[in-house]
A and B are shown apart, each in its own frame.
Chain A
Amino acid sequence: MQAEVKSNDQEVKHAQFSEFVSFTVAGQAFCLKITQIREIRRWSPVTILPHAPSDVLGVMNLRGAVIPIYDLSARFGLETTEASERNVVIVVSSDGKPVGLLAESVSEIISIDPEEIQETPPVDSRNTMEYIQGIISHDETMVRIINLDAVISVPEQVL
């Protein structure tokens, strides 16, 4: 709702604004472009993939399709999430194939002027640099924009 009101206020500028969905992973705020997201589901137990790396939680049934679920927190090198009913799975699309990403909770939809996006300052963390494509300041907190392609590329360890 909040996002809607806001975009109405700025209808003139609306065209150049992009909408992002923000969510938290291991206490940190992240976001994805709303067009990248297919749906958001409540967490339900997944089927474990044998020999899978720790950031691949397993697979789940999405209306007849088998989709892999990644733990975003583990993927970012943060602690692994103990998934529960309170958590959400964000279903995104990779080359037309759906992939689920486990997040702690979804926060809100925010409109961002592309010009507000700042480059990721260099920090000493390889994972961060790889998976974050920019940062924005929203309500005085830092929101990290996820580089979706990097996150959902099938990790080589699985082979």
Chain B
Amino acid sequence: MAGSIQDTFFEECEELLEATDEGLSAIEGGNHDPEVVNAVFRAVHSIKGGAGAFGLNELVAFAHRFETVFDEVRANRMELDEPLIQLLLRSCDHLYNLVAVARDGGETDQAHHDMLIEALDKYIPEEEEDLTFEPMGLGGPIDIAAIDIPQAPTEETYQIHFRPLKDMYSTGNEPFFLFQALQEMGPLEIVLDDSELPGFDSLDPEESYLSWNLTLTTSEPRSTVEAVFEFVEGLCELSIEGAGDADADAAALAALDAVFGSAPVDLTPVAEPTTMVEETTTPPFEQPAPVPTPEAQPEASGAKPSAPKAESTKSEQRGPNPTLRVDLERVDRLINAVGELIINHSMLAQQIANLDVADVRDVETELEGFKNLARDIQEGVMSIRAQPVKPLFQRMARIVREASSATSKTCKLVTEGENTEVDKTVIERLADPLTHILRNAVDHGIESPENRESANKNRIGEIRLSASHRSGSVCIEVKDDGAGVNRPRVKQIAIDKGLIPENAELTDSEIDNLLFLPGFSTAKEVSNLSGRGVGMDVVKNAVTGLGGRINISSTPGKGSTFTIILPLTLAVMDGMVVSVADQTMVVPITSIVETMRGNDDMINNLGADGTLLSIRGSFVPICDVAGALGLRKEDNDRPPGVYLLVETETGQRSALAVDDIHDQRQVVIKSLDGVCGEIAGVAAATILGDGKIAMILDPESILATSPTTAGAFDTERRMSNAS
């Protein structure tokens, strides 16, 4: 139980950190809207709250400093200048690290931690302690002066009555930690009141029966005492009475009532992060704006003063769509089941077609409906898995910041198309390759500020990260405005490392693509950042592992662009069913431009092995699929009669020769991972209507392996120019 609550907390932390990051980035971009500032404050505050409940002291301490500094900003007591924003951004990065350490174990960089704390402390004003307790507001900055918190420089004795509701236990709060925190302030006397405890027979193990009477003597101000209970607000009945000021400050008590006492029932639905499927409309730990005086209340709850508090809060928020948090495994089970359903449909259709019945039209109509429904379900389920790339891009912004400070270069990351939705697995597995590319871009791509200036460029390097949908696939582009690939050096290194022969004649694009060769690393010395022996080949493997491909293009002096093309989903695609050397195979429809039946007149020989297909006056090289896959015997060299015209990512056309085309249909992609190693020319497998497995071909890799077309691209270009 405790574990799952903690998991929930860490999940929330991720979201809160993303919100913080997003807010800070907006502020960095010049948006000083109080709402943005408040959003960041709330997020950090919630992290601190949650961390406190789990006794993650280091995280609490750091988040507290962050929050305190930010509170100054929020109250307009401090100006958000560039150094402060940078410090806050780096602190936010460090929060990520601290959360990661708390979750996964490991060590934080202590020196870095201390350095940031010291830097943050410089911004914290002397009277910081008095300001730690400030109720969070949702509707804008709260006039803190309205709550006249008494200054308590001398020792004070507080009588605290604390009675947790059962919801407090279910949110993972532990009275012990609260008491421990109180004890740190001064002598604490704890008296347990178990008078409500029923007999054993009528005891409900989930119910809360215990309450405590605490007597605390401390020199800390009342606000600090109250702050201890900040995160169980609404989850307990609480009264704090100072011996000296019981009647002294009615306004403060009224505020207290608004926060703790008056509306525990209304508030409990707000903070209930225990269930796995959870409404995230209202982030937990957040409370509606407590207003200092009862008269002001209608103002906060808008036109419906009688509405329950929690509800009015919801309507006041910017109104994100209600969401469900669902275990990924459940979604995946559903996706598998739908995949089987689609296969099952094809099997049914095929068997009905084979039946020797005179009139099956009605059945076929119904079957068509079945197919459409199955497809609807399938698209719906797939869209559950689809997520915007925004969090991934935010992480990349951190990477660029870290990389920039490590290399003392100044770069900014500009992101585009953050709302492009991609399969969750793709997003997860893109993180590493993207990190690598971006680090490389900062380390090798962007020049030092001095060099940039002398090249008439802005001192600040720009890296543009964009995502977009492009005809059935997702395109992710990383574009830097750095120096571009140093081609002579890349070629020399490749020669030195024996990757290419010394006299190799390579085109510019071929040289650029040398970067993807295993064991290639251009860093002159091993830097902290990149060039650890693993190079861009790792990136390429990761991308091809996702069924995608990566290209690099570069202009000397202007920069380089990495383009990653990925399939939209990992589960289903439209394919053309063809037969090749008695085997049934599937070619992805997205790569096919045109299909045609050829005759001998259209085939032109070029040289000893090359054959070209003439299509409306232009010539494209023919690639025999069976030959490329090693399925055709040498003696049978009669080219098959059907051609699939395909276009590669680089825009080159080629004709794939197959025996026949059968059908066009949606197929469920079955990975061959773990079944066998990577097979040249084959992307994955699928199960056809008859229960047989068919290979899904990868035209690009077939063309790359085929001896007849690998060298023919240049020829094609020349031929089509000539015609």
Contact residues of A with B, CB < 8 Å? 46-52, 56, 59-61, 64-68, 97, 154, 156, 158-159
Contacts and interface: CB of A to CB of B under 8 A. Distances in A.
Contact of A56 (B676, B685, B687): B676
Interface in B320-339: 336, 339
Which of B336, B680, B681, B691 has the largest count of A CB atoms less than 10 A from its CB? B691
Interface string B602-640: 000000000000000000000000000111000000000
B682 A159 contact: no
A64 B682 contact: no
Contacts of A68: 675-676
A66 B679 CA distance: 15
Contacts of A65: 670
A61 B682 contact: no
A66 B630 contact: no
Nearest to A60: B693
A49 to B, nearest CB: 6
Contact of A159 (B336, B584, B677): B677
A48 B579 CA distance: 13
Given A48-B631, A51-B629, A64-B340, A159 B678 contact: yes
A64 B687 contact: yes
A151 to B, nearest CB: 15
Interface residues of B, number: 28
B488 interface: no
A48 B692 CA distance: 11
A66 B631 contact: no
B683 to A, nearest CB: 12
Contact of B675 (A48, A51, A64, A66): A66
Given A47-B583, A64-B340, A66-B672, A158 B693 contact: no
Contacts of A64: 336, 339-340, 343, 687
6 contacts: A51-B630, A59-B685, A66-B670, A66-B685, A154-B677, A158-B679
Contacts of B422: none
A50 B691 CA distance: 19
Given A51-B630, A64-B343, A66-B675, 18 more contacts: A47-B583, A47-B685, A49-B676, A49-B682, A50-B629, A50-B682, A51-B679, A51-B681, A59-B675, A61-B687, A64-B687, A66-B670, A66-B671, A66-B685, A66-B687, A97-B674, A158-B679, A159-B677
Interface string B180-194: 000000000000000
B340 A52 contact: no
B694 A47 contact: yes
Interface in B675-719: 675-682, 685, 687, 691-695
Contacts of B343: 64
A154 B678 CA distance: 11
B80 to A, nearest CB: 54
B128 to A, nearest CB: 55
In the complex, the 8 A-B pairs of residues with the closest C-beta atoms, listed nearest first? A50-B629, A159-B677, A47-B693, A158-B677, A66-B670, A68-B675, A158-B676, A66-B685
A47 B675 CA distance: 13
Nearest to A99: B675
Contacts of B676: 49, 52, 56, 59, 68, 154, 158
A59 B687 CA distance: 11
Given A50-B629, A97-B674, A66 B681 contact: no
